[in-house]
Amino acid sequence: MSTLFCNSNATESDTSCYQPATLASRAGVEADPAHGAVMPPLYLSTNFTFDGFKGKRPYDYTRSGNPTRDTVGQAIADLEGGFGAVMTASGMAALDLLFYHVKPGELIFAPHDCYGGTHRLLQHKAERGYFRVKFVDQTNLDALASAFQQEAPKLILIETPSNPLLRLTDIQAVCGLAKAYGTLCAVDNTFLSPALQNPLSLGADVVVHSTTKYLNGHGDVVGGAVVSKTQELHQFFTWWGNCIGNTGAPFDSYLTLRGLRTLEVRIRHQEASALRIAEALSAHPAVSRVYYPGLESHPGHELACRQQKGFGAMLSFELEGGEPAIRTLLKHLNLFSLAESLGGVESLIAHPATMTHVAMDPDARRHAGISDQLLRLSIGLEAPDDLLRDITFALNQVAHSNRVKIA
Ligand SMILES: Cc1ncc(COP(=O)(O)O)c(C=O)c1O
């Protein structure tokens, strides 16, 4: 669980050897040439002057490039071990930018249980002929290998842990398979962030983020990032980001950089609380099933220990007692806001079937295993004892009303 960024040849002054917390804290610090500001300034300017006729400077127009956006982009790229990152207006914009790698007629493999918005984007763009898409269960490596044999895709998108069922995909195995067929391998790393998982070091070519979530972490920015392993890929996505104009706003970049500085401490604290809550849910009679990779009973636990640096702070569970039980639970919770999104300082609860994954058609949802009894938690930074007390009280009310119903 240590940094990926040191190799045995690193010298004492080698900056590539810094640990993630150091990279995040120091990104852009002391880089202001004008006034020597310690923290990097916010450049809101739409445009930048030319230094005389034909004197183009590094920046000319904020859609194509902006110093504030570049500072956070480079920080995220450094944390992921990539060459560079394009900051986008949302996580969906990042995914859309990724899909520009694929031309009409070419094929994308995507997880059958991916985030509902990703599923919708892929399905609707495929229907309009932008590309073809096949939704596959990437946790079944044999089935995936035969899908590759049938027809290798141009791009495979992995989402691990998946939203909302926390299924794990073996990044190294899938990227190894993809490499053998010349397929570009991209990983949506939103659920863990670079603090807990580094897909590029496991063979991925591209990492995609909804920076709305852990990277910003304060519930006040919608943004995304496309991180490329190579200069060539980064140039490709930079070119398309400017061409279609889905790059992120400077102020959002400024906030995201501020959030990023505390990523490591936030997610470690949230993760410790998540484990305690997952254990409490597992032991509660109102809960029939818990999905959290930190539990030894989780089918992906061993893989999580191997490919992740932590288990994260997202978990899902199935509640006993149908819709009335869900209503009872929600009514008695004080510290879990009923809202979409995740990864912020505040704890959230969501009902995927009617919220985050409502855009998926019901058959696809059922096929992915997202039941109407599934609830998803994003664990925040509240005191863990308070969170435990809050959810245990609400679950006790559910258990009580379930018992009354049976009697
Ligand atoms: C795994 C994952 N990827 C991408 C997105 C889309 O991000 P955004 O809402 O920032 O567009 C989400 C949103 O919840 C997500 O959970």
DSSP for 27-44?
Answer: TTTT--TTT--SSPPP--
Q: In this structure, what token pair is assigned to residue 369?
A: 């295993």
Indicate whether 181 pLDDT > 70. yes
CA of 117 to the centre of ligand 1 (A): 7
The DSSP annotation for 282-318 comes to HT-TTEEEEE-TTSTTSTTHHHHHHH-SS--SEEEEE
pLDDT band at 108 (very low <50, low <70, confident <90, very high): very high
| pLDDT recorded at residue 404 | 79
Output the residue whose Cα is nearest ligand 1's atom 16.
115
Residue 136 structure tokens: 């596959």
Predicted local distance difference test score (pLDDT) of residue 360: 81
Ligand 1 centroid from CA 210, angstroms: 5
| Sign of the Cα pseudo-torsion (356, 358, 360, 362, in order) | positive
**How far away, in angstroms, is 115 Cα from ligand 1 center?**
7
Choose the residue to mutate in 213, 214, 215, 341 for probing ligand 1, maximizing ligand atoms within 8 Å of C-beta.
213
pLDDT tens profile 185-225: 999 999 999 999 999 999 999 999 999 999 999 999 999 99
Query: Computed from CA positions of residues 137, 109, 303, 286, in that sequence, does the dihedral angle turn out positive or negative?
Result: negative
Q: Whose Cα sits closest to atom 14 in ligand 1?
A: 341
The total number of residues shown for the chain amounts to 407
Task: Tell me the one-letter amino acid at 259.
Answer: G
pLDDT at 242: 98
Q: Which residues are within 8 A (CB) of 120 and not within 5 positions of it... i.e. 6 or more apart? A: 359, 360
Atom of ligand 1 nearest to the CA of 92: 11
Ligand 1 binding site (Cβ under 6 Å of any ligand atom): 90-92, 115, 117-118, 159, 163, 188, 190-191, 210, 212, 222, 224
Nearest to 314 by CA among 329, 335, 295, 288: 295
Distance 400 CA to ligand 1 centre (A): 36
Q: Is the pLDDT of residue 346 over 90?
A: yes
Ligand 1 atom at shortest distance from the alpha carbon of 222: 10
**Residue 5's pLDDT band (cuts 50, 70, 90):** very low
User: What does the alpha-carbon distance between residue 393 and residue 385 come to, in Å, rounded to a whole number?
Assistant: 12
Say what the pLDDT of residue 14 is.
62
Given the CA of residue 190, which atom of ligand 1 is nearest to it?
Answer: 1
Residue 278 Cα, ligand 1 centroid: separation in angstroms?
23
Atom of ligand 1 nearest to the CA of 340: 14
Residue 222 backbone class (left: φ over 0; alpha: ψ -120 to 50; beta: rest): beta
CA nearest to 234, candidates 91, 65, 377: 65
Q: Which residues are known to be catalytic?
A: 63, 115, 188, 213
What phi and psi values does residue 210 have, to the nearest 5 degrees?
Answer: -90, 105
pTM of whole model > 0.85? yes
Ligand 1 centroid, distance to 118 Cα (angstroms): 8
Domain ranges of the chain: 17-260, 264-406
The answer to whether 228 and 73 are in contact (CB under 8 A) is no
Sheet holding 287-291, edge to edge: 287-291, 314-319, 374-378, 348-350, 337-338
Q: Phi, psi at residue 75, to the nearest 5°?
A: -65, -45
Q: Considering the domain 17-260 in this protein, what is its CATH number?
A: 3.40.640.10
pLDDT per residue over 241-285, tens digit each?
999 999 999 999 999 999 999 999 999 999 999 999 999 999 999
The candidate with the shortest Cα–Cα distance to 346, out of 386, 317, 294, 398, is: 386
Cα–Cα dist 209/85, whole Å = 10
pLDDT at 15: 57
Written as six digits, the tokens of 59 are 């920046």
The mean predicted confidence, pLDDT, of the chain is 95
Give the span between the Cα atoms of 38 and 132, in whole angstroms.
49
Q: What is the mean pLDDT of residues 314-322?
A: 97
Of 354, 334, 353, 344, nearest in space to 378 by CA: 344
Indicate whether 3 pLDDT > 70.
no
Mutate which of 87, 92, 222 to test ligand 1's pocket (most atoms within 8 Å of Cβ)?
92
Q: What Å distances lie between residue 373 and 206, 319, 329, 404, CA to CA?
A: 34, 6, 12, 19
| pLDDT band (50, 70, 90) for residue 368 | confident
Using alpha carbons, list the distances in angstroms from residue 41 to 34, 68, 258.
10, 7, 11
Q: Does this chain's domain 17-260 share its CATH topology with 264-406?
A: no
What is the CATH code of the structural domain delimited by 264-406?
Answer: 3.90.1150.10
Residue nearest atom 7 in ligand 1 by C-alpha distance: 91
Tokens 């061993």 map to which residue?
302
Shortest-distance atom of ligand 1 to CA 191: 1
User: Rounded to an integer, what distance in angstroms lies between the CA atom of residue 173 and that of residue 185?
Assistant: 11
Across the range 384-391, mean pLDDT stands at 98
For residue 47, the 8-state DSSP code is: B
> Each residue of 152-177: pLDDT tens digit?
999 999 999 999 999 999 999 999 99
Give the pLDDT score at 364.
Answer: 85
